[in-house]
Structures are given as C-alpha cells and as structure tokens.
C-alpha cells in the first residue's frame, strides 16, 4: 500500500516536470528567445552561490519549524538526520497539484515512527498555512512601503487565513461540530481519527506556537525574496530600496497566486505573476527578456533546486526506512487534548 502511494507520487512528479518544461518554452516564445538567452548569458553567474545560500537559509529555518511542529504533536524521538531527510523529501512533491504530494511526509513519518497520519498530516497543513501567512505579510509590507498596489486582495488573504486558524482554536464550538459530524454514517467509523486530526491541529495553532512559527516563516521567506533581489542585481538593476521592494512584492505575491491556483508547484501561475509584476511595477520599465530571465532564475534557485534536493532525500529516506524498525512509543499523539472515548462521542 505504501509503495503504491509513493509510485503515485512519482507519476505526479513526472507530470509536474513536463509542465515545467512547457512553461520555460512559453516564456521563451513570449519574450523572444534570443533576447532571453542574451539576458541569461549576461547574468552575473558568480552570484549563484549567494542565491542558493539564501534558499538554503530558507530551508534551514523551515526545518527548525518542522522540528517544532513534530515536538508539539509528540513525534519528538525521530533521529535528526532522518527527520531532515523526510522534511526535504517533501520538496520532491512540491510540483504535485495543490502540493498535496507533500503529505508523503506523513506516510514516511508513519513508517519511521508509527505515528498515525491523523497526528502528522496537520503538520504539513500547518506548514503551508504559516508559509501563506508569511507571504501575505511580506507582500502587504512591501505594498505599503512603496509598491502601493494589491494591498486589498492581500489583506483579504491574510484575514481569511487568520480567521480559519482562529476558528480552529474555538475548542468548544469545534467539538460540538465534530460530534455532529462523527454521527454521520460515512464518518462514524473514523471518529477516532477525526478527533485526533483536530487535536493535532488545535495544538499546532495555539497562539504562542503560531507567533513563533510565523516569525520563523517571515524571516525564512524573506531570504528567498532577497535571492530574487540578488538576481535582479545580477541582471544589471541598481541596488536600491525600490528594487528590493519590487523583489519582495513579486516573489511573495506570485507565491500566493501559485498556491491559490492549485497548479502543480504553481507552475505557470507563479511564473506569469513574477514576470508580470516585474514588468508592471519596475521603474523604469524592465525589458520583457530581463523579467523572464529573473523569473527563470528564481524558479530554478527555489522550486527546481528544492525538487532536486527532495529527490535525493527521498531516495535516501526510502533506503533508510527499508532497514529501519520503529521503536515502541516513538510515534506520538497529542492525546492530552483528546475528546473522551468514542462511547462519549455519541452523546448530544
């Protein structure tokens, strides 16, 4: 069963790679392939280590966030190297529709620790939501600081995310809703998993936890915004405050657009957003080939670099788990938050 799931993830990955190739060709056609090649050739390639270093900085802080999440749901005895491998393996599935392939991490955690999917799946969801919060905050900050556009839509995204998280923390109300839901015929058999899923989500989004991981997310994703800024400098743009704000606004807004599109890795939507924002809001107006080159470079340094790391990590994790037997009690569950036993679920 687990192997079948992993094979399905691999098929999604190959489909994402095909879409990525089509996106590159589309950008080349739209912006004039020869000028695009000239822009890429003129790029200051000595800056590439700095750009990849900023991406690695993002990954490092996100791994710290991952470790905190695992501790909060009780999965805290996993060897750090294996935890890092599972975390990075999720990057291989970034180019699946809606990034649902990243739930592969929950399956790998179950094999490694015995922790249930209901316990660890909220970790993957919490990662995505706090990343979205961070991007919305960065985009809003850059919009108010100088871009002066798009702030209303970004504010709406931020409000919706915070509203959803706030609803999860209304424990009494949520338990009433869950009791009603678990009385439905199709849900009754999975009542325990439903409560476990909610308990993990409740723990992860406690206000003090949310503040900690959101702060980490803002700093980590600002690292990738800086990577786009360095790319723009390498393409000949001046090192000014306006160019920095443009980089922050472009990457953060495009990331939100890509996520909302539910396309594999945001492919197409993110590239179109980055290129479009760079063209519309740059002063003086950026050449289309320069904007397309910046888009291809930042997507290589973030999305495709991450996918490559994820593939290597996934192969290593599979080999490691093939000879790994979970220790008794390694997997955790936030049972301290659980609703009373199933017999009590049927009341009311």
Helix (H, G, I), strand (E, B), or coil: what is residue 98? helix
Average pLDDT over residues 266-273: 84
Reported pTM: 0.82
- Residue 4: pLDDT above 50? yes
Contacts of 265 by beta carbon, 8 Å cutoff, 6+ apart: 16, 19, 20, 94, 95, 96, 99, 258, 303, 307
Higher pLDDT, 97 or 62: 62
Q: Which of 18-22, 242-246, 322-326 has the lowest mean pLDDT?
A: 322-326
**CA dihedral for 108, 111, 113, 117, sign (positive or negative):** positive
Mean pLDDT of 2-10: 63
Question: What was the pLDDT predicted at 26?
Answer: 80
Q: If you average pLDDT over residues 295-319, what whole number do you get?
A: 91
- 203: its two tokens: 């723990």
For the cut 70, the answer to whether the pLDDT of residue 8 exceeds it is no
Higher pLDDT, 48 or 271: 48
Least confident of 203-207, 208-212, 221-225: 203-207
CA distance 116 to 126: 16
Mean pLDDT of 178-202: 66
- In this predicted structure, what is the pLDDT of residue 243? 93
pLDDT of residue 332: 47
Peptide bond into 284 cis (omega under 30): yes
Residue 346 pLDDT: 39
Reported as a pLDDT band with limits 50, 70 and 90, residue 347 is very low
In this prediction, residue 150 carries a pLDDT of 61
Residue 9: the pLDDT is 66
Q: For residue 345, what pLDDT is reported?
A: 41
Mean pLDDT of all residues in the chain? Answer: 81
Q: Which residue has the higher pLDDT, 271 or 85?
A: 85
- pLDDT at position 263 over 70: yes
Q: What per-residue confidence (pLDDT) applies to 33?
A: 77
Tell me if 134 sits within 8 A of 217, measured CB to CB: yes
Q: Which residues contact 247 (CB under 8 A, 6 or more apart)?
A: 225, 226, 228, 229, 232
Q: What does the pLDDT average to over 216-238? A: 95
More confident of the two residues 220 and 189? 220
pLDDT of amino acid 94: 81
Query: Cβ distance 289 to 40 under 8 Å?
Result: no
274/234 Cα distance (integer angstroms): 17
Q: Which residue has the higher pLDDT, 125 or 185?
A: 125
* Number of other CB atoms surrounding residue 273 within 10 Å: 21
245 pLDDT more than 70 = yes
């Amino acid at each position: 069963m687990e192997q079948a799931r992993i094979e399905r993830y691999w098929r999604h990955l190959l489909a994402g790679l095909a879409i990525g190739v089509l996106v590159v060709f589309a950008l080349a056609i739209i912006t004039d392939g020869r000028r695009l090649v000239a822009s890429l050739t003129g790029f200051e390639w000595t800056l590439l280590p700095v750009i990849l270093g900023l991406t690695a900085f993002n990954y490092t802080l996100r791994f710290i966030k991952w470790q905190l999440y695992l501790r909060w749901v009780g999965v805290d005895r996993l060897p750090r190297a294996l935890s890092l491998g599972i975390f990075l393996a999720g990057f291989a599935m970034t180019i699946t529709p809606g990034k649902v392939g990243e739930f592969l991490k929950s399956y790998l955690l179950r094999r490694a620790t015995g922790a249930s999917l209901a316990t660890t799946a909220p970790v993957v969801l919490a990662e995505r939501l706090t990343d979205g919060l961070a991007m919305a905050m960065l985009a809003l900050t850059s919009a108010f600081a100088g871009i002066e556009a798009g702030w209303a839509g970004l504010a709406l995204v931020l409000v919706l995310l915070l509203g959803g998280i706030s609803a999860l923390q209304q424990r009494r109300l949520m338990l009433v809703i869950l009791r009603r839901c678990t009385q439905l015929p199709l849900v009754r058999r999975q009542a325990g998993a439903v409560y476990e899923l909610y308990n993990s989500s409740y723990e992860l989004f406690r206000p003090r936890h949310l503040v900690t991981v959101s702060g980490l997310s803002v700093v980590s994703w600002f690292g990738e915004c800086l990577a786009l800024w360095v790319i723009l400098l390498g393409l000949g743009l001046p090192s000014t405050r306006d160019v920095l704000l443009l980089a922050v606004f472009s990457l953060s807004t495009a990331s939100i657009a890509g996520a909302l599109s539910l396309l594999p890795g945001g492919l197409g939507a993110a590239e179109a957003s980055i290129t479009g924002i760079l063209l519309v809001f740059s002063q003086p107006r950026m050449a289309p080939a320069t904007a397309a080159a910046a888009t291809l470079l930042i997507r290589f340094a973030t999305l495709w670099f991450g996918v490559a790391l994820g593939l290597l990590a996934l192969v290593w994790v599979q080999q490691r788990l093939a000879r790994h037997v979970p220790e008794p009690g390694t997997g955790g569950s936030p049972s301290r938050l659980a609703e009373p036993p199933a017999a009590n679920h049927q009341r009311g």
